[in-house]
Amino acid sequence: MAYSEKVIDHYENPRNVGSFGKDDGDVGTGLVGAPACGDVMKLQIKVKDGVIQDAKFKTFGCGSAIASSSLITEMVKGKSLEDAGKIKNLEIAQELSLPPVKIHCSVLAEDAIKAAIEDYKKKHASEAA
């Protein structure tokens, strides 16, 4: 499969690979996908005052799954939780020029950021209430 240059670039030089302590109070973790389906994405955000300071990922998946996760870590940095939650998979798919058969990789990235935000909010549910 011929990938766009952007996919190749993110695949060969992935941004923000790594992990934060998942029990840390300022960290939200999203783990989506399934090994049996061939892709698992772990996306973590570090949040301060409702704004995402940093993001890291680890992905088991094809080149476009890795590129999608790498790209979304860049997109969410500096965004408020609310804005980050509004990111649509189509933005990722378009930015990376994903072929139709790989669109689900971008969906997974959207799911991952939503899951990470939810995890963070759950940790801080008592504060908000």
Partner 1 sequence: MKEKPKLPIYMDYQATTPMDPGVFAAMTPYFMEKFGNPHSSGHKFGWEAESACDLAREQVAELIGATEKEIVFTSGATESNNLALKGIAKFYGDKKNHIITIVTEHKCVLDTCRHLEREGMNITYLPVQKNGLIDLAELEKAITDKTVIISVMAVNNEIGVIQPLKEIGALCRKYGVFFHTDAAQAFGKIPLDVEAMNIDLMSISGHKIYGPKGIGALYVRRKPRIRIIPMINGGGQERGFRSGTLPTPLVVGLGEAARIAKLEMEKDYNHVKTLSERLYNGIMESAKDVFLNGDKEQRYPGNLNLSFAYIEGESMIMAIKDLAVSSGSACTSSSLEPSYVLRSIGVGEELAHTSIRFGIGRFTTEEEIDYAIKLVTGSIDKLREMSPLWEMVQEGIDIEKIEWAAH
The residues of the shown chain that bind partner 1, judged by CB under 8 A, are: 1, 8, 11, 14, 17, 19, 31-42, 58-63, 65-66, 101-102, 104, 107-108, 111
CA distance 58 to 25: 20
Only one residue has tokens 């590129």, namely 67
Q: How far is the CB of 29 from partner 1 (least distance, A)?
A: 10
Instruction: Give the CA distances from residue 81 to residues 2, 48, 53, in Å, rounded to whole numbers and listed in that order.
Output: 34, 10, 10
Strands 27-34 and 51-60: unpaired
From 18, 37, 38, 86, active-site residue = 37
37 annotated active-site: yes
* Residue with smaller CB distance to partner 1, 11 or 124: 11
From 105, 112, 116, 117, active-site residue = 105
- Give the active site residues: 37, 105
